[in-house]
Structure 1
Amino acid sequence: MINLINKKRKGFTLVEMIVVVTILGVISSIALVKYSKVQESAKLNADYTNAANIVTAASMAINDDEKTIDSLSVETLKEKGYLNTVPVPQSTSGKFELVINDSGTDISVNINSKQFYPK
């Protein structure tokens, strides 16, 4: 009698396997949602850093030659050597646009005509 009980309990039942697979599916879907949020946040932070670098480069260009305020753009900053490359936004489509007031004291960066930096 003991041998029959031991022979019957080898392995898992179908119900136990379905429960385990269901639990793993729920856990993986939660992890996927969390991962996508982290990834989007990282792209937004990278864009914010790029925008801050553009503002710093524009400030340096204005300090070097105040006559360039009207003609400054992200592409111009790259051509003059203030930026190594023209950064491309990762969190959205479009491009970075430099906005400077007439005196050169207020510098901001827009993406798709919406102010992105400073917040």
Structure 2
Amino acid sequence: MINKKRKGFTLVEMIVVVTILGVISSIALVKYGKVQESAKINADYTNAANIVTAASMAINDDENIVESLSVESLKEKGYLSTVPVPQSTSGKFELVISDNGTDISVNVNSKQFYPR
């Protein structure tokens, strides 16, 4: 009797490989989702810092503007090219300025994005 050496993989080997690939891909997808969420939050922090910079410029140009200043008015006056939209949460950026114009913060709903 001649013993032929089999070429190829058995069904059990194929199932093991597919299972391992499934586990690896599910771990990668979970990590990818966390990276995306982190990027959205960082984009919101950056947008908030840009809003504060624009508000500071507007206050330096006209100190009487403090009470009427908002993100929308910053766009209308040319300090922002567009009104930023939060990426990590729903709502819109809200500018909170102290009476003297020195303390500026940016919130979305109740979450503060600036200062960090």
**Length-normalised TM-score, structure 2:** 0.96
Q: CA deviation at 1:17?
A: 0.2
Aligned to 2:28: 31
Computed over aligned residues only, the root mean square deviation of the Cα atoms, in angstroms, reads: 0.9
Aligned to 1:66: 63
Matched residue type, 1:67: N
Q: Retained in 2: the 8 A contact 1:97–1:113?
A: no
Out of 99-108 and 109-118, give the one that drifted further.
109-118
Aligned to 1:41: 38
Secondary structure in 2 matching 1:115: strand
Matched residue type, 2:17: V
Alignment of 1:86-101 (within 5 A): 86-101=83-98
Q: CA deviation at 1:113?
A: 3.0
1:5 is aligned to 2:14 = no
Aligned to 2:19: 22
Secondary structure in 2 matching 1:82: coil
Q: Retained in 2: the 8 A contact 1:100–1:108?
A: yes
Q: CA deviation at 1:114?
A: 2.8
Q: 1:112 aligns with which of 92, 96, 109?
A: 109
- Structure 1: runs of 5 or more not aligned: none
* 1:5-25 Cα shifts (integer Å, max 9, x gaps): 32xx21100000000000000
Residues paired across the two proteins, number:
116
Q: CA deviation at 1:117?
A: 1.1
- Structure 2: runs of 5 or more not aligned: none
Out of 51-60 and 105-114, give the one that drifted further.
105-114
